[in-house]
Amino acid sequence: MKKDEKHYMSLSYPAKIEEMDEGFCAFIPMIKGCKAFGETVEITLKELEAVKEGFFDVFLKMGKPIPESVIQLDIPYDIFREMKHREDLESFVVY
C-alpha cells in the first residue's frame, strides 16, 4: 500500500517548543530541518503543521523515506521493580 501525504499528516509526531527572545521555535526531532517560528505557541504550532505538510509533499515527490511516528515512553525503573513484586505475589495466588 502506497502511503500518501494524508497518511503521514494523520500520524502524531512529537514536537519540541523553545521560547526565544521574540517568540517561539517549534521543531520535530524526527524530521530533520522541520521547524517553525511564531509570536505565540499557537501560531508557532500552526506554522509547524504547514511546514510538516510541505516536508511530506517534497519527500514524497522525491521518493525520500518519511519516518513513521512512534511513541516513546520514559518509564521509571521503580515501576519495573513494582511489577516484579506483583508477579512474585501472584505466583502464590490460586484463581
pLDDT (mean) for 9-28: 92
Q: What is residue 75's predicted lDDT score, i.e. its pLDDT?
A: 67
42: in domain: yes
* Position 41, amino acid: V
Q: Over the stretch 53-93, which tens digit does the pLDDT of each residue have?
A: 999 999 999 999 888 876 666 667 777 677 666 666 566 55
pLDDT (tens digit per residue) in 30-60:
999 999 999 999 999 999 999 999 999 999 9
Q: Is residue 81 part of a domain?
A: no
d(CA 45, CA 69): 17
Q: Return the pLDDT at 7.
A: 86
Contact 24, 37 (CB under 8 A): yes
Structural domain boundaries enclosing 11: 5-69
Residue with cell 522541520: 34
**Number of structural domains in the chain:** 1
**Residue 16, in any domain of the structure:** yes
Residue 40 lies in a domain: yes
CATH of the domain at 24: 3.30.160.250
